[in-house]
Amino acid sequence: MLEGGVLPGVVEVVSLDGLLSGLCTSPGAACMGIDPAALAATLTGAVGDVPLLGPILRPLLAQVLAALGGDVGSLLEVRRIGDRVIQLVPAGPLATLLALVGDVVDDILDPLVGRIQLV
């Protein structure tokens, strides 16, 4: 994909429709596009699978769903591990939610909740 090149220093996290913005279509840009609907469905299912934690999880889920409707980048951080490797790391309420539901999300997570775009 990189054809011998290296990743830019900054990889932005945006919603899938944000991949069409100038931020992600300019030469040298790199963006990670997240599908908010797919991620929301996965997380909602995970919270439903842990009813005993519902009183704790539902408010966190509401915060995550609100962020998915706007600033997806506030929920995920892209860490540049090397010239060709990045790691997508949960942040804020998403990190807390995932820490509480843990294996439940791992068991149902749809591997296609986003895509990377390099220009």
- Please report whether residue 2 resides in a domain: no
pLDDT single digits (tens) 53-109:
889 899 999 999 999 988 888 998 888 888 878 888 889 999 999 888 876 555 555
pLDDT value of residue 67 = 93
Helix (H) or strand (E) holding 107, with range, is helix 103-108
Measured CA to CA, the distance from residue 105 to residue 100 in angstroms comes to 10
Which of 35-39, 40-44, 52-56, 82-86 is the least confident region? Answer: 82-86
- Please report whether residue 84 resides in a domain: yes
Q: 21 by DSSP, 3-state: which?
A: coil
- Please report whether residue 41 resides in a domain: yes
Tokens of 80: 């540049």
- Please report whether residue 3 resides in a domain: no
Measured CA to CA, the distance from residue 80 to residue 4 in angstroms comes to 17
State which residues form the domain around 59: 12-118
Mean pLDDT across the chain: 83
- Please report whether residue 48 resides in a domain: yes
- Which residue, among 71, 119, 117, has the nearest Cα to 94 in the 3D structure? 71
Measured CA to CA, the distance from residue 27 to residue 18 in angstroms comes to 16
- Please report whether residue 108 resides in a domain: yes
Note the pTM of the prediction, 2 decimals. 0.78
- Please report whether residue 81 resides in a domain: yes
